[in-house]
Amino acid sequence: MSRIDNPFDPDRDLPSLVGKTAVITGGNGGIGYATIQHLARHGAKVYMAARDQAKAERAIQRMQDEGLAPGNGQVLWLSLDLGDPSLARIAAEELLSKEDRLHILSGVHLLRDRSIQLCPSLTIHSHIGPFVFTTSLLPLLARTAARPDSDVRIVNLTSGGIAFLKRGIRFRDRADFNDAHKWDIIPGPSLARYCRSKLANVLFTAELQRRLEEAGIPILAMSVDPGLVRTDGVENDAASQPPGISHLMSLLVHTLWTPPPRGAFASVFAAASPTVRVHADDYRGAYLLPPGRKGTPPHPDARSALLARELWATTERLLDEMGLEVERGDGLLRS
């Protein structure tokens, strides 16, 4: 039976993850919550990396109440504020002090209801914070990948909404990051900037994979478009529309959008499916669609290796201006 006839299902297809350690950002709810649940139910030790301790602890308690069998993995809170790169570095250092291995790093950071800015119009929650957190954890990820029979993966969620961005996007300097997106067909500059950050996630993942390969580090990095998922944020967006429109939007969301447990299938596939490691050459730097199909980024700029290098270099420069030297995995990732 083909994968099309028999698509990925975590309950059926995931192996035991006992002994594996994972970090999932944005795990209080939605896709992140469901991803943690799937991994923990197969035995993984999972850190829910989130800013709000009270919300995280409530989410963990709810998860435990819903049951973590049969694997009965462990779920722990890790304090992480992606809106402040210096705090993202501190969170990584805290994890480094606790763990001697890390097998899965999955970044959800899909929220767009909180504007955290480095300077006017430069949102850093979805790109620069995750960049610092990921690169700060590279030494641990690389050491884990060097162990015999190890399997280490980095997964970043993106959005099909990048298809509606204007063409010819650049990341040369601060002004490019601050683009007002006046000519996009996406309604509203905040949504356009959100999609721009999701484009940055794809480019960052591609450039990270290139650098890992160049350094001979067998870590797999993948971008995942989860599709239309009925998260709390989506439901709140629908409900906040003008009367009449809000009812229609809510009806469409509940009819057409996928509930989070299934909406997380693609990210769980990327993080832990044995298929990915068996066919590593096919999935290295891949762009995945639900429930784990290989796809192509729906925007030409997302496929530009030159733009990916430009984004990386500019991000490093902006961080240097903030006094945050970029961790390069004990010198393994060189600019």
Of the candidates 33, 47, 194, 287, the residue annotated as catalytic is 194
Q: What is the Cα–Cα distance from 176 to 172, expressed in whole angstroms?
A: 6
Domain ranges of the chain: 21-228+261-322
The pLDDT, as a whole number, for residue 245 is 72
Residue corresponding to tokens 């996007």: 169
Q: Among residues 179, 169, 178, 136, which one has the least CA distance to residue 154?
A: 136
Residue 301's CB is within 10 A of a number of other CB atoms, namely 21
Instruction: Enter the tokens of residue 228.
Output: 């239309």
**CA–CA distance, 35 with 46 (Å, rounded to integer):** 10
Q: Enter the DSSP assignment of 178.
A: T
pLDDT at 113: 39
Whether pTM > 0.85 for this model: the answer is: yes
Q: What is the pLDDT of residue 116?
A: 36
Query: Residue 118's pLDDT is what?
Result: 40
> Is 194 part of the annotated catalytic residue set?
yes
Tens digit of each residue's pLDDT, the chain (335 residues): 344 445 899 999 999 999 999 999 988 888 999 999 999 999 999 999 999 999 999 999 999 999 999 999 999 999 999 988 999 999 999 999 999 999 999 987 654 433 334 443 345 668 899 999 999 999 999 999 999 999 999 999 999 988 988 889 999 988 777 776 655 555 556 677 788 889 999 999 999 999 999 999 999 999 999 988 766 666 566 666 677 777 676 777 676 767 777 889 999 999 999 999 999 999 999 999 998 999 999 999 999 999 999 999 999 999 998 888 776 655 556 55
CATH architecture for segment(s) 21-228+261-322? 3-Layer(aba) Sandwich (3.40)
pLDDT, position 2: 40
Ranges of beta strands (E only) in 26-85 are 45-50, 74-79
E strands in the chain: 21-25, 45-50, 74-79, 104-107, 153-157, 220-224, 287-289, 293-295
Q: Quick check: bond before 291 cis, omega within 30?
A: yes
